[in-house]
Structures are given as structure tokens and as C-alpha cells.
Amino acid sequence: MKKLLITGGAGFIGANFVHYWMNKYQSDKIVVLDALTYAGNIANLDSIKDEDNFTFIHGDICDQALVEKLLVEHSIDTLVHFAAESHVDRSITGPDAFIETNIMGTYSLLKAAKKVWLDGDTVLEGHRFHHVSTDEVYGTLSPTDPAFTEDTAYAPNSPYSASKAASDHLVRAYHHTYGLNVTTSNCSNNYGPFHFPEKLIPLVITNILHDKSLPIYGDGQQIRDWLYVEDHAYGIDLVLQNGRIGENYNIGGNNEWANINIVKTISKLVEQEFVNNSELVARFPTAKAAIAQNTESLITYVKDRPGHDRRYAIDAAKTNNELDYTPKESFDTGIAKTVQWYLNNEIWWQSVMNGSYQNWITEQYE
Ligand code: NAD
Ligand code: DAU
């Protein structure tokens, strides 16, 4: 039985990971530590919040004393670190929070883990610090470059990716210097339930439903490698079970798409939903383009993101071969599930967008 501390477990990927783990390993204990920033949403954990083996702690990963207390009081043996500032556009307009959480926060967690697991009278055998990182640390690719492997040199281009790269290096150093049992995974772009609607895929779905424009940065030919979020959780699971200590593992689905094509694909899927389900017309009367089946008319080319990386692509051969990893979801099934999820969970995205769940947080956790 594992006792896990999950940082950032109220965010998009962290919450999906918590659901995945609670469902698969029902006798494990999970403690979520989350600061509930604008991106964290306690509603993402609503269906499990009363389970006996689940505890939610509202707090900051930079609070080393709190993390040490949680590691000791809950006898944590496995820390899975998702907490981060994660949106590239925000890192361009306001890098400070990225330096604080992604670098200083990771450093604080490493110090706490070293103190509790390594520096006491006995070393905690079998402890694990798993760090969740991104393909963005490798920089950008031309259309013909081979995909990123774990040996690709780091070349981060945005304040976000630079802060993630710095945290990856600290994690590596804590293994090399102090013998902390670490693993790191570098994953490509995720999509699926609970994805905050400032990111491309949920933004496109919700904007169609609001009859708002679909902003395409620059020429829309930038390429991202998309993975269904549950397949990311599955990959981390395999790394935790069988990954070698001190190693990095790439996780990806071999699924490259130009932004403009993914936006057009989602537009068609939403249009089709309106054709298949007449209830949607009543529920989303402002979705004029979807009703008229002309959602592509909402596409608007806008100014490019400064320093915009042209292409990401993950070579996951090491993870596939060593850990027998294969994503379970195809893009067709994953994106169809995702569109359905947003259509079925309007209350979630409306409240995320207008911030109303914050009142609920205040009542429950302040
Ligand atoms: P997210 O922004 O949706 O969630 C981040 C979570 O961390 C939120 O719940 C937030 O409240 C919490 N948090 C932020 N600062 C905190 C702090 N100081 N203390 C405690 N909690 C804090 O992010 P996400 O998209 O779920 O990404 C999770 C992790 O996965 C990140 O480390 C990110 O770099 C990495 N990643 C993301 C993607 C992707 O496509 N989204 C792909 C690869 C890797
Ligand atoms: O590659 C992994 C990374 O993927 C993660 O590390 C990040 O945390 C995550 O946010 C994501 O970063 P991206 O910048 O790739 O994701 P985003 O959804 O912001 O943008 C995807 C692409 O779409 C990117 O090329 C920018 C473009 N875009 C985005 C938005 C929000 C647009 O063209 N228009 C938009 O409105």
C-alpha cells in the first residue's frame, strides 16, 4: 500500500491523476496539497472528497514546514509533483509566479523530502519523488527534425519552460548529490476533462458554445503532440511502478497536429453534436455558428505569441520499450470524449470562467 502526497492535485492533470489512482489502487492513501490558484479547482475532486483514504490540504508547496509535517503525519512514501504555474501566455506577461512556484516551490519540496526521508535516524527505504515535467524544456523543432528523446539537450524558450527546466535540474541534482529516489516524466500537450478553458482545446470548445471568436496565434501552423490526460496518468503510474531511479521518461502519443487543423477538427465535432442532439440548440442558443454549422467562420488569426515554439514532438520509445507503455486512447476517441465532457459539464466550465467556485472554497477551506 502506498501513501501518496500529490501536489497540484486540484488542477487539470493532477485531478485526473488522483481520480485514476483512487479508482485503480483503492487501498492506497492520497493526500492532495494544492494552493487553489486560479487554475486549481476543488470541484475537480468533489466526487472523492469524502472518501476515507483521501485528504485535501489547502496550502503552498513553498511552505517547507507544512510539507515536512504532511510527509511525517501521513507517513508519505511517494510524492508526485504536479503543482506549477502552467500557462505559457501568463509566463510571458508575468513570470514572477512561475519562478516562485516552479523553481522555489520544487526546491522547497526537495528540501522537505530530503529532511524527512534521508536525514533522520533511518532512511525511508522505497521512497519516491516523482517530478512531472514537460516536453517544452527541450525547446522547439523544425518540421523535419527528429522528435525529442530523453537525450535531447534542454533549450527552453519561454519563462514557463525555463522555470520547468530549472526544476528538472534541481530534481536531478537531489538524486545525484544526496541520493534522493527521483524520477521525472516529460510529457507532451494533454487534453481531456477539467482542462482550464484558457488552453487551446477547451477554449475552442467553450468559445464555439458562446459564439465567440477562435483566436489562432500567427499562421496557425505550429505543431503540438496531443495526449489524452488519462494516458499521461497511466504513463506516470508505470514510471512509479517500474521506472529506474534517477531516470527521465518521455510520455507522448505520437499524435502531431497543426493548431489550425485541430481547431477545424473540433469545430466539426461540435457542429455534429448540434446536428445529432436537438437539445443542444435549446441549451446553447447563442452558439449560432454551431447551429448554422459554420463554426469555422469564428476562426480569427491574431498576433503571434512572443517566442512561440514552432513544433513539439515526443519520441517515447524509451518509455514504450522499458515500461511497456502504449496510450489506451486514440485521438478520435479521446477528443470525442472531451467534447462530450464539456457539453455535459457546463456548470463546471461556466463557474471556472466566472470564478464562482471561489466562494465555495472560502466556505470549505479558509
Ligand atoms: P494546472 O495549471 O491546471 O494546475 C496546476 C495546479 O497547481 C493547480 O491546482 C494550482 O492550484 C496548483 N498550484 C499552483 N501553484 C501552487 C503552489 N505554489 N502550491 C500548491 N499548489 C499550487 O496545470 P496542469 O496543466 O494540470 O499541469 C500539471 C503539471 O503537469 C505541471 O507541472 C505542468 O508543467 C505539467 N505538464 C502539463 C502539460 C499540459 O499539457 N497541461 C503537459 C506536460 C506537463
Ligand atoms: O507541451 C506541453 C505544454 O502544453 C505544457 O507544458 C503546458 O503546461 C501546457 O499549457 C501546454 O502548452 P502550450 O503553450 O502548447 O498550450 P496552449 O493550449 O496554451 O497552446 C497550444 C497551441 O495553441 C500553442 O501553439 C499556442 C496556440 N494557441 C493557444 C491559445 C490559447 C492559439 O493559437 N490560440 C489560443 O488562443
Mean pLDDT of 295-318: 97
Neighbouring C-alpha atoms within 13 Å toward the C-beta of 57? 19
Cell triple for residue 354? 466566472
Neighbouring C-alpha atoms within 13 Å toward the C-beta of 322? 17
For residue 33, which phi and psi values (nearest 5 degrees)? -110, 120
Q: What is the pLDDT of residue 360?
A: 46
Q: What is the pLDDT of residue 90?
A: 96
pLDDT at 365 over 50: no
Let me know if 154 is a catalytic residue. no
Q: Which atom belonging to ligand 1 lies closest to the Cα atom of 191? A: 40
- Which of 134, 199, 267, 338 is the pocket-test mutation for ligand 2 (most atoms within 8 Å of CB)? 199
Amino acid at the residue 34: D
- Which of 86, 138, 158, 250 is the pocket-test mutation for ligand 1 (most atoms within 8 Å of CB)? 86
Q: Which atom belonging to ligand 2 lies closest to the Cα atom of 164? A: 6
Mean pLDDT of 45-66: 97
Residue of 63, 57, 66, 68 whose CA lies nearest to 29? 57
Q: Which atom belonging to ligand 1 lies closest to the Cα atom of 38? A: 11
Let me know if 136 is a catalytic residue. yes
Q: At what angle do helices 259-276 and 200-209 cross, to 10 degrees?
A: 40
Let me know if 160 is a catalytic residue. yes
| Domains in the chain, CATH or no CATH each | 3-192+228-254+311-329 (3.40.50.720)
Counting residues of the chain whose pLDDT is more than 90, the rounded percentage is 94
Q: Please give the model's pTM, rounded to 2 decimal places.
A: 0.97
